[in-house]
Amino acid sequence: MSPFSRTVDRGKRLLGFDNGEARYGYTTTAVQGPVSTSRAASTWVRTTCGYCSVGCGMLIGVRDGRAVAVQGDPDHPVNRGRLFPKGLTEHLMIAADGRLTSPTIGGQPAAWDEAIRTMVDSFKALIDEHGPDSVAILSTGQLVTEEFYTLGKLARLGMGLRHYDGNTTLCMASAVAGYKMSFGTDGPPGCYEDLELADVVVLWGANIADNHPLLAPRIMQSHHGLRPTIIAVDPRVTKTAMLADVHVAVKPRGDIALLNGIIRHLLDEGLVDLDEVRQRANGIDELLAHLDDWSVERAAEEAGVEADVIRATAITIGRAEGCVLAWTMGVNHSTQGTMTVTLLNTLALLTGNIGKPGASPMSITGQCNAMGTRETGFTASMPGYRSYDNPVHRADLARLWSIDESRLPVERGRAYPDIINAVMSGKIKGLWIIGTNPVVSYPNRETLEIALSRLHVLVVQDGFETPTTAMAHIVLPAAIWGEKEGTYTNSERRVSRVRAAVDPPGQALSDSDIFRRVAAEWGCADLLADCATPHDAYDEWRGVSAGRPCDYSEITLDRIDVEGGVQWPNGAARLYETGAYNYPDGRAKVYPVEPEAIRDRQRAAYPFNLNTGRTVEHWHTRTKTGRIGILEGLAPEAWVELHPIDAEALGVYAGDFVRVSSQRGAIGRIRARITSIVRQGEVFIPFHWDERCANRLTVDEFDPISREPNDKHCSVSIARIGAR
Ligand SMILES: Nc1nc2c(c(=O)[nH]1)N[C@H]1C(S)=C(S)[C@@H](COP(=O)(O)OP(=O)(O)OC[C@H]3O[C@@H](n4cnc5c(=O)[nH]c(N)nc54)[C@H](O)[C@@H]3O)O[C@H]1N2
Ligand SMILES: Nc1nc2c(c(=O)[nH]1)N[C@H]1C(S)=C(S)[C@@H](COP(=O)(O)OP(=O)(O)OC[C@H]3O[C@@H](n4cnc5c(=O)[nH]c(N)nc54)[C@H](O)[C@@H]3O)O[C@H]1N2
Ligand SMILES: [Mo]
């Protein structure tokens, strides 16, 4: 059993007896650490929430050096004082059980110097023997921007590694790739105010009620008194679908057919100004030719949506003065994620819904600072959205850093799944994992675990004990939210400050301190000389971003303090307001897209499509929320949603336990929820639980362009194993 499961099990208490049998479970106080029972704070520290990318401003209440309370920041432009269940209990997370307090080597506590020396010596030995491609880094969307900037320099220039990616490839990579293809660079064009100003908001594969809860009030309370028409496109009747005016219950992966049908109908109804669009975008003729093969009826058949609903949706979008097309993982998590994103962008371009108030294609980001790593990092592009293969960008960056241009990498390294494949085949032998828990979050867990077990050196840097730290040779304890300084950038490109309220536990250090120690031991401390503090790193980054699409140069920390959060570039609410895009000719690009069948599709042996996702009470792999009694009490165990007709055929009653199997693995025992939230033939499992891990079932297939996994579609079978 991993140390992680032990920690959680310790939280179980004897709750009572049923027919003489002891009943164990969680009580609301069981799994939290030693927190103060009083919430009376003596000081309040202003910061930004560390869960999702909505980026809510909040205040941490501190007393006697401990975080005792939180409050929504009434002055913050994003949430205006509101918070939701995870945010409201975030202070409990800091002092929860299971924090890492000392570095370890081979499971034994070690001094920092020794841990860092062992790590650096081991990586250098691999590089000496097998070359720099034998070591890789997987990072996260949950550090502060200053740390991403520092880590990028350290990884690519200091350590000379080519393969550096992060969990953001499991998340926003399709949006990034789709934006680049449509507009020439990454960057979400709109802002939250557009949700209030729009006539129509389409939430496409985005369950904001559970996952970005504080966007819901932004949509429901429109500036002009009328709330927009809300359309939810999702195979499930999510809470978001329930609050929407229209729920379009698309078939899994029916989105491309649906979008083709909507665009076809807009063209047929004369709702697209083709002359105008031709001036702004390339590829229109290819798109029109492709749509000759698409009728609304064909779209209806392939999307599993009635033709009338497609027509009505098209007309609603086409006649809106402003429409926001917002999407999340129902779109990105697919082998066709990138191309689906381009089609959403195309729909926005064709209907003029970009670059003006109340209108935008809008990827809602996932993690608190996934944006920061996109802008400053060295993963999909060089810092400041600079391309590896653009000579001007290269020269510019080399000059800014006073380095020889030859030190800059010439291409992007392996993406996350390609790093894992190379670990599997033995090409990558050393891996440094920072702030992510792949054992629970990566698709096809068994293969992943085999890959990680083949590593010669696995270093894991985290704030908590996790199933991934349990596999590591060297564990580095990190300070987390509430314990360090920096900035996060949210889904609407708004930069907000993150502040330390309390000290990290034991010997834990901030990630930036750890990066500087690694740099010193590696012999490249000079690279980070001007990033000695988070503030210094931020100032250097501001200079490096100057003149780029993600320009932070005028977003000083003082300005953030005054305005409560400032959007890049330099305070602009929206991108593309002039109609000029980031391709050299200033035009955007549209693409014809043809849907492909789901590869691991339903068949006799595996008759159900498995959809996986989230619930409001938990955060990802529950390293944080699984230790907070209030949240555990609300959602104590995993479940599988099963349609009543399927349940009847299987003889499964509400609350029964079932076994769920795919070609790759099984969850031996999981509770069934019989509900028509899912369509017949489809099941849904939240992926938060290590113990009932949905990723034992999921398929390790990836989008060919973005390399994002296909987390929402694979086939499974269900068998009843016992009554509740
Ligand atoms: N409470 C909570 N909030 C979170 C997180 C969390 O773990 N917990 N994580 C954060 C992160 S990193 C992210 S990325 C976001 C994710 O936020 P969301 O994308 O909203 O989350 P998911 O539940 O993964 O998936 C969204 C929806 O996609 C639907 N879907 C599945 N297949 C399809 C399809 O083929 N087409 C369409 N149109 N829809 C489909 C699912 O039914 C699901 O309702 O949430 C962020 N916020
Ligand atoms: N089946 C299925 N799988 C999925 C998804 C799905 O919808 N379905 N969603 C995918 C998506 S969108 C995402 S984003 C991923 C998320 O997957 P993960 O990144 O694996 O999830 P987290 O639990 O957020 O892991 C983050 C880790 O970082 C640690 N941490 C937090 N703050 C800090 C810090 O400041 N420093 C350091 N060093 N560590 C820190 C936490 O303790 C935690 O262990 O999961 C993906 N996996
Ligand atoms: Mo995510």
Q: What's the farthest any 2 CA atoms get from each other in the chain?
A: 78
- Measured from the Cα of 441, ligand 2's closest atom is 47
Q: Where are the domains of the chain?
A: 1-97, 104-162+369-557, 173-363, 608-722
Q: Which ligand has the minimum distance to the alpha carbon of residue 626?
A: 2
Residue 707 zone, left/alpha/beta (φ > 0; ψ -120 to 50; rest) = left
What is residue 25's predicted lDDT score, i.e. its pLDDT?
43
Cα gap 505→33, rounded to integer Å = 12
DSSP H or E run through 267: helix 255-268
389 alpha carbon – ligand 2 mean position (Å): 31
pLDDT at 12 over 70: no
Question: How far apart are the CA of 541 and the centre of ligand 1, in A?
Answer: 31
* pLDDT tens figures, 114-167: 999 999 999 999 999 999 999 999 999 999 999 999 999 999 999 999 999 999
Domain 608-722 has CATH 2.40.320.10: no
Tokens coding 142? 């949950």
How would you classify the pairing of strands 714-722 and 657-661? antiparallel
**Equal CATH topology for 1-97 and 173-363:** no
173-363: CATH architecture: 3-Layer(aba) Sandwich (3.40)
pLDDT of residue 9: 35
Q: Which pLDDT score is estimated for 722?
A: 78
Q: Tell the burial category of 399 from Cβ atoms under 10 Å away from its Cβ (0-12, 13-18, 19+).
A: exposed
Q: Calculate what percentage of the chain has a pLDDT beyond 70.
A: 94
Q: Indicate whether residue 211 lines ligand 2 (CB < 6 A).
A: no
pLDDT tens across 250-284, in order?
999 999 999 999 999 999 999 999 999 999 999 99
Confirm if 249 and 305 have CB atoms less than 8 A apart.
Answer: yes
Cis status, amide bond into 505, omega within 30 of 0: no
DSSP-derived 3-state class of residue 25: strand
**pLDDT exceeds 80 at position 413:** yes
Interval between CA 366 and ligand 3 midpoint (Å): 4
- Report the separation in Å between the CA atom of 442 and the middle of ligand 2, taken as the mean of its atom positions: 10
Q: How does residue 450 score in pLDDT terms, banded at 50, 70 and 90?
A: very high
Rounded distance from Cα 469 to ligand 2 centre (Å):
13
- For ligand 1, which residues put their CB under 6 angstroms from it? 52, 171, 204-207, 210-212, 233-236, 238, 250, 252-253, 255, 328-330, 366-367, 611, 613-614, 616, 618-620, 712
104-162+369-557 fold? Rossmann fold (3.40.50)
- Residue range 1-97, CATH number: 2.20.25.90
Strands in 118-238 per DSSP E: 135-139, 163-166, 200-204, 229-233
For residue 58, is pLDDT > 60? yes
For residue 476, which atom of ligand 2 is closest to its CA? 38
Q: Please indicate whether residue 508, judged by its CB atom, sits closer than 6 Å to ligand 2.
A: no
pLDDT in tens, 664-679: 999 999 999 999 999 9
Mean predicted lDDT score pLDDT of the chain: 93
Q: Are 722 and 355 in contact (CB under 8 A)?
A: no
Mean pLDDT over 73-102 rounds to 94
Q: Is 437 in the pocket of ligand 2 (CB under 6 A)?
A: yes
Nearest CA to ligand 2 atom 3: 441
Consecutive H or E run containing 263: helix 255-268
HSE-CB of 529 using CA atoms within 13 angstroms: 6
> Which pLDDT band, with edges at 50, 70 and 90, does 14 fall under?
very low
What letter does residue 48 receive in the DSSP assignment? E
* CB of 334 shorter than 6 A to ligand 2: no
